[in-house]
A and B are shown apart, each in its own frame.
Chain A
Amino acid sequence: MENSAAVVMKGITKTFGSVIANHKVNLEIRKGEILSLLGENGSGKTTLMNMLSGIYFPDDGQIFVNGKKVTIHSPKDAYDLKIGMIHQHFKLVDVFTAAENIVLGLREKGRLDRNAVATRVREICGRYGFEVNPEQKVYTMSVSQKQTLEIVKVLYRGADILILDEPTAVLTPQETEKLFNVIRNMKADGKAVVIITHKLHEVLEISDRVAILRKGEYVGSVPTSEADELSLTEMMVGQKVSLNIDRPEPENRTLRLSVNNLSCVDENGFKRLDSVSFEAYGGEILGIAGISGCGQKELLEAVAGLQSVSSGSIEYYPPDGGEAKLLIGKTPKQIRNYGIALSFVPEDRLGMGLVGSMGMAENMMLKTYEHGFSPFTSKKEPTKLAESVRERFEVSTPGLSTPVRRLSGGNVQKVLVGREISNAPSVLMTAYAVRGLDINTSYTIYRLLNEQKEKGVAVIYVGEDLDVLLELSDRIMVMCAGRVNGIVDGRTATKEEVGLLMTKLDRKEGDSE
């Protein structure tokens, strides 16, 4: 065993039901090194790290920390071994201050000495370049501040091995840069850092070594200096892929949707949308960029008739050149009959677009079940549609009546997107359409969106990956705190420009989780 190995995992296997999350995985984490754990969604990265941090217990295999064999039963065991994990979803108490969150769960004897805690927090911050105010309450923090706090919390507990699960998913490019600086400082301090991610350019930028998982199995590891995007993708996917997204020139652009001064407030009185105005054209892909929770969801739902609005107007211009129709005040059903399809993929995929307990076929008829006069539903058409979606998108499911909840995230997504595209919309709104999809399927989706665009459909694409947005969209609308902060040309805009627009406004209001 090498001296520098902080953690060695040998033959780790973990299954959930018949799903094999990890199969005989071997992994080595070294001191003073930044390791990227790369793999598509569902390839078992998070599961593997959860076993290291005591959330799950492996079915099989051994873990060595500093050369000694260990068993990790709980997160506390992990902390005792100086292993700390920063989860994708923050585990903080909103009403507590930063310092209170840091000491929460520590079983130290005696009274809580706030000054001592604050001093140590400042000391840690100073060493690595964090900015944390120990007395600030968590609910007043921005997403990136919360993440910083999570890292400090782990360091406070003396962690030498840090695991960050998709740390950049919620950050802007500028914040990401700041985070990377901190990570480099930690590396210089001799700590072992693992970053779970599926963003290739970040892998190349930050890490020293890349370990790759595919479908729960360990593929291998390579020094970052010897890797490039294409070679990593091949290892990740297991076959050659081309990483180019087409962007055909828009033809016959026609005004399809015109939104004017749209505003809405949530139940707490927060303005979720603030005087949003924009136009969407048939034959064009309009990208929408923004940090999550800054109004994209509300905007799409308002167009689909699912969100009540306080003021403003939405006009729809039918492709046949008929009269403009006002969408506000219409039911979702009426709006749908105009040909506006919303394929919305919220965090909880099954919470809105699909019915988890039903099979593919029954999910296909979610929007069409009412057709016909019979009081009974007909399963013939939906079954046919399900069969074709299954074939076209290569959905892997035991059967058309298997509850979609049992399918993997990527397959669930394929079912949803497949249904939305197949009902021939005139406006197609997608939110996070490729979240959870493997690279091949993602590119299939991009191709399908382009196909829709060429058919004259107005495509609205809400995305989180700026690189994809810049490659796919004709125009990009950047939202920030419920407002439109600028609409830029997708062909000429730069990532920095968009990133800046995402954060420039005062962020207190629109920022939730």
Chain B
Amino acid sequence: MSLNVVKFPVFPHLKKIIFPPRWLILFFLFLILNPVSSYAQEDLSSSWFNYHRVNMLVFLIFFFAVIVIFIERAKVGKSLFIRRIAGLDAIEEAVGRATEMGKPVLYISGIEDVDNIQTVASMIILGNVAKMVAGYETPLYVPVCMPFVVPIAEERVKEGYAAAGKPEAYNRDNVRYISSEQFAYAAGVNGIMMREKPAANLMFGSFYAESLLMAETGLATGAIQVAGTANIHQLPFFIVACDYTIIGEELFATSAYLSKEPKLLGSLKGSDLAKAIIMIILAVGALLDTLGITHFASWFYIE
């Protein structure tokens, strides 16, 4: 009986683990043999390549390849299963409640500029929230902390309204630059929360100490609150003060999911594969380290 006909009815994924694809075996062999570490040199100021970072180059190329492969697979129509992301339901529910009540929706995009990837993810979500809100007679307030975010937020909201067939409902004054100072921004946002009384507060992006100031004020005004950030130190406060919190990678997944484009969803799948490989590396590395083989783990050391 050839190995290929062995059936795994109980746990089909076991097959993939026991018989990994050839490229994965080669990748691991490469890591274990660690053929490039001996090239390391000290003074690099006259060198055109930092050999200490060759491991990084390998991982970047590998990760980019995985993402691109999955995006290509999605483009040619291969069905890619992605589980329903709970944060998405929470956003829809919050916006739905606000529109039902005829009360405003407040969208807070964090306090960093668009050179921060979390802010980019937040802008993607904003466009979709605008599309959800546009159909109803409720305003969408977007207080902004950084100047570059102003034009992007304006465009995203305008585009969302246009996509919902309501371009005339877009009010440019609802995208408001507040201040680039975090607590002044928090004060301005809190002012909107207390006086405009939005029924839904959506907070997605990069947050720091001001997170709790805003989330607690929002809670006191009785709004339904959904927050999402990858800033670990602020997550506990969002969890305590918000109805639903999107944690870390879920923020990027939600933005990919909301875009609804299969090719963007493909990247989620690629990210999952990379995660699985990282998990295998972690487990193998810890086991080899236990056996006294530190060669493998040293591949991941970076200066």
Is A bound to B?
no
